[in-house]
Amino acid sequence: MAKLHENTATELLRMLSAGETTPVEVMATYLERIGKLEPKIHALTFVNKDAALKEAERAAKELKGAKGKKKPLLGMPIVVKECISTTGIQTTCCSKILQGYIPPYDATVVTRLKQAGAIIIAKSNMDEFAMGSSTERSCYGPTMNPWDVNRVPGGSSGGSGAAIAAREAPLALGSDTGGSIRCPAAYCGVAGIKSTYGRVSRYGLVAYANSLEQIGPITITARDSAMLLEVIAGKDIADSTSVDVPVDKYSQGIASLEGLKVGIPKEFFGEGLKADVKASVEKAVDKMKELGATTQEVSLPSIKYALPTYYLIAMCEASSNLARFDGLRYGLRVDVPKGNYDAMFSKTRQEGFGPEVRRRIILGTYALSAGYYDMFYVKALKARTIIQDDFKKALAKVDVLVGPTMPTTAFEIGTKVDDPLTMYLEDILTVPINLAGVPSLSVPVGADKAGMPIGMQVMGNFFKEQQVLGVGMALEDVLQFHKKLPPLAGA
């Protein structure tokens, strides 16, 4: 019989309902795993140990009393990324400037999770303010990839990705501004979805670049992501960019891949793509054909502009969003002689922000300044519209697009962190989707020669999450990657 932690979240929920396990047993199992595995992978920044166990006891009582209809995630432990606000639990964005900050309110997604019966087991490590692709830029130090602890887990939600891969929890939340859910999902061999812009409330997510980002699931399977997305998605009056479109039954997936039209964007298979990644994605596409899908090549000619477009827009928005961290209201304050507020602001910001965050604030402020605004920011917005049009045209011809999530597999810790441009290049296949605003799921489709996981993106039209997730479910049913655990997480 499978050990408790070897189950998917969907299976665990079934076992809880059937009385084959209890919320207390589930919570104790994962807390024990955290104790054993954290020294090796450092995925978490805070473990909510005592409170989570108490909550599990409460859930156990509730589950016993619940006849028939029960809360959809009752008793399920979940890891929440450090940039998502949680009442009474630190929310630091892994930045020195927010150390010690404990929010007095929950993000809407957290409220919905609690209403659904889920229990926060821990907060997860990330690149400072979600700026990065490797989780090496956290004030708490890096996270290690459970498949090879010398390598990065991807970023910026690398803590959530590593925690799921190591089975420190059955469910996790990440956030994705330019790939931060899909990159760690791909590098850690798990699933994750960035939904349509506006599908999930951003209220309580500490903003990095608000026109691009979404909170979303990082889970063992696409089916688990579907189940979690059903709980967190939907209109929220506290976030005016959330959209009032009905939330589908994502976990039902789609009937089959029979007749599904799949577009293969040729630009996703260009220069720099590692041979193993290409081969695994092509094999997965063949599987889709065996399941009845038809494929055709499509083109997204403007995505060659996506990387500079993304970085300009993201840095401009970041420079504005991060202006609020001034030493007056949150976290760190560097004291200076009385009354000299300018000195206090600049000393606090200089000490509180890491080098990458400072670089982006400076570049973003420059691009937004009066003399350069039209040349940089406005131009980037125009390019964004053209990129979005490419996606709209392609998705008018086919149901979904598929391609690699990342051009390579997880790289070694320390090899890119001092070279910002090389690090930005990591995002070449993920940022176009955020610029377009469409949904994209990353599912594991194989591994390279060194055994490092490879992820494939399934991109769909606006609000077609059910279709995208359905494709992921059909694929994982045949590929069964989730049955393979990293050696370190096995026993």
Which residues form the catalytic set? 81, 156, 180
- Cis bond before residue 156 (omega within 30° of 0): yes
Q: Which of residues 159-188 bind ligand GLN (CB under 6 A)?
A: 176-180
Task: Please state the closest distance from residue 479 (CB atom) to ligand GLN, in A.
Answer: 26
For the beta carbon of residue 69, count every other beta carbon within 10 angstroms: 6
Q: For ligand GLN, which is the closer residue by CB, 106 or 427?
A: 427
Out of 29, 156, 196, 251, which residue is the one contacting ligand GLN (CB under 6 A)?
A: 156
Cα distances (angstroms) measured from residue 345 to each of 67, 98, 323, 326, 333: 56, 14, 10, 5, 8
Task: Please state the closest distance from residue 206 (CB atom) to ligand GLN, in A.
Answer: 11
For residue 66, give both structure tokens: 């619940």
Task: Please state the closest distance from residue 408 (CB atom) to ligand GLN, in A.
Answer: 14
Task: Please state the closest distance from residue 63 (CB atom) to ligand GLN, in A.
Answer: 36
CB 402 within 8 A of CB 443: no
Contact flags string 12-31 toward ligand GLN, x per CB under 6 A: --------------------
Q: For ligand GLN, which is the closer residue by CB, 27 or 435?
A: 435
Out of 205, 226, 314, 398, which residue is the one contacting ligand GLN (CB under 6 A)?
A: 314
Contact flags string 419-438 toward ligand GLN, x per CB under 6 A: --------x-----------
| d(C-alpha 34, C-alpha 180), whole Å | 23
455 phi and psi, to 5 degrees? -110, 150
Q: Which of residues 117-136 bind ligand GLN (CB under 6 A)?
A: 130-133
Number of residues that bind ligand GLN (CB under 6 A): 13
Residue 467 sits in the site that holds ligand GLN (CB under 6 A): no
Q: For ligand GLN, which is the closer residue by CB, 75 or 354?
A: 354
Task: Please state the closest distance from residue 72 (CB atom) to ligand GLN, in A.
Answer: 27
Task: Please state the closest distance from residue 128 (CB atom) to ligand GLN, in A.
Answer: 10
Q: For ligand GLN, which is the closer residue by CB, 229 or 314?
A: 314
| d(C-alpha 257, C-alpha 271), whole Å | 30
Q: For ligand GLN, which is the closer residue by CB, 131 or 232?
A: 131
Task: Please state the closest distance from residue 96 (CB atom) to ligand GLN, in A.
Answer: 18
- Bridge partners, residue 54, by sequence: none
Strand 77-81 and strand 171-176: pairing?
parallel
Task: Please state the closest distance from residue 427 (CB atom) to ligand GLN, in A.
Answer: 5
Which residue sits closest to ligand GLN, CB atoms considered?
Answer: 180
Q: Which of residues 221-280 bind ligand GLN (CB under 6 A)?
A: none
Binding site for ligand GLN (CB under 6 A): 130-133, 156, 176-180, 208, 314, 427
